[in-house]
Amino acid sequence: MKSCGVVVEYNPLHNGHVYHLKKARELSGADTIIAIMSGNFLQRGEPAIVDKWSRAQMALSAGADLVIELPVAFSTQPADYFAKGAVGLLHAMNCDAICFGSESGESADYQKLAHFLKQHTPTINQRFKENRDPGKTYASQMDQILKELMPEQLVSLSTPNNILGLAYSKENVLYEKPMELYTITRVGSDYHEKELDEQNFSSATAIRESLVGSKKNKARIEELKLSMPDSSFEQLTTHPLVSWENYWPYLKYQIEVQSLEELRTVYQVTEGIEYRLKEYIQEAESFEQFISLVKNKRVSWTRLQRLCVYILLQLKKEDMVNELTEPQAIHLLGFNFRGRNYLKEMKKRFSLPLIANVTKKNKNLWTSDIKAGKIYQMGQLGLIKEQDYYRQPLK
């Protein structure tokens, strides 16, 4: 019984993702595909357009066998912590392989590079310290250092997918028994795929823009049918949709009501950013305007969005230290018959507790995520269902 993991957000799930799931099964030859999926708050520091249950349903309909939630402490992070959480869950579930999208570079390249990085960690950290440049992103600094250290450039770090892929690979080689790696070159590898891409592989970003926010376009919604499975389209048209703007009043309120000192207890509120938050909060009339006011050369749009999630959810520095050591539990959002067989067979060997439904008994393993769910619900007051307590996994 072979298993292969994919790490996903499905915001929302579109044809590109269906292709990814299909390819993961083909390449790895796995019986069971385990999707580790971000919950209600995502890697770029945004609320998901529909809740984790809708997105888990999309995942099951599109070919995943098990859908497991990536805790919010990991899901709202740059590549390294995001990968630590996801790979940690896959290892805790005895997963055999991981398959990820890559703009360029084969799995062997990632493997090799991950080993190289593991062996040279002290040297790389030293270089980072010496050349620290707050004007450049972590990835571009790493790219520079690698170019200096390695004669052949195995994986370019100029695209988000490659950065994530490398982060999974790096995390993976830290385990005694690493998973096999598989990569899927995302677009344009042959004519067929290119055609699909142009016709039906709309990006998740483009899809969201048609559905929510200032660029919302009702006329385009019917067109979206072409770029995603029917199940995704159904979820999107029958559930409340949200964007950051739905949480803007709460964020604004929280930044207004907290003192500078209180803001500093929030995770990642460092280097005086709290002064800029306070400075611009009053005049900003939307989330987007707020971020564009606070943004400067030292801090990227994405980092600011993540910071706003930490403030909105009041994730504190002291709590995150603990939560980021490893995931506390395997929260099951959904499964099909193959997923059920996998659980039956393997559950006893899981190295973390499996939560099939959140109850008063196990809630201590899921504190920040329960909170994230409660706040997510407030984006459409009264319309979004309870996210955790007593919810049954989808079948």
Q: Which residues bind a copy of itself (CB under 8 A)?
A: 249-250, 252-254, 256-258, 262, 282, 285, 312-314, 371, 374-375, 378, 381-382, 386
Beta carbons of 110 and 19 less than 8 angstroms apart = no
Nearer to a copy of itself, 100 or 244 (CB): 244
Nearer to a copy of itself, 110 or 287 (CB): 287
Taking the C-alpha atoms of residue 6 and residue 101, their distance in angstroms, rounded to an integer, is 9
Nearer to a copy of itself, 75 or 169 (CB): 75
Beta carbons of 331 and 355 less than 8 angstroms apart = yes
Taking the C-alpha atoms of residue 51 and residue 372, their distance in angstroms, rounded to an integer, is 11
What tokens appear for 161 in the block?
A: 């997918």
Nearer to a copy of itself, 94 or 268 (CB): 268
Nearer to a copy of itself, 92 or 313 (CB): 313
Closest approach, Cβ 43 to a copy of itself, in A, equals 21
- Which of 332, 309, 339, 327 has the alpha carbon at shortest distance from 367? 327
Taking the C-alpha atoms of residue 287 and residue 305, their distance in angstroms, rounded to an integer, is 9
Nearer to a copy of itself, 250 or 301 (CB): 250
- Which of 35, 40, 172 has the alpha carbon at shortest distance from 114? 172
Taking the C-alpha atoms of residue 89 and residue 91, their distance in angstroms, rounded to an integer, is 5
Closest approach, Cβ 249 to a copy of itself, in A, equals 6
Closest approach, Cβ 280 to a copy of itself, in A, equals 13
- DSSP string covering 130-170: HH--TTS-HHHHHHHHHHHH-SS--S--SSHHHHHHHHHHH
For residue 76, how many other CB atoms are within 10 A of its CB?
A: 29
Nearer to a copy of itself, 217 or 357 (CB): 357
Closest approach, Cβ 320 to a copy of itself, in A, equals 14
Closest approach, Cβ 255 to a copy of itself, in A, equals 10
Closest approach, Cβ 314 to a copy of itself, in A, equals 5
Closest approach, Cβ 67 to a copy of itself, in A, equals 25
- Which of 378, 375, 366, 379 has the alpha carbon at shortest distance from 389? 366
Q: Are strands 32-38 and 66-70 parallel, antiparallel or unpaired?
A: parallel
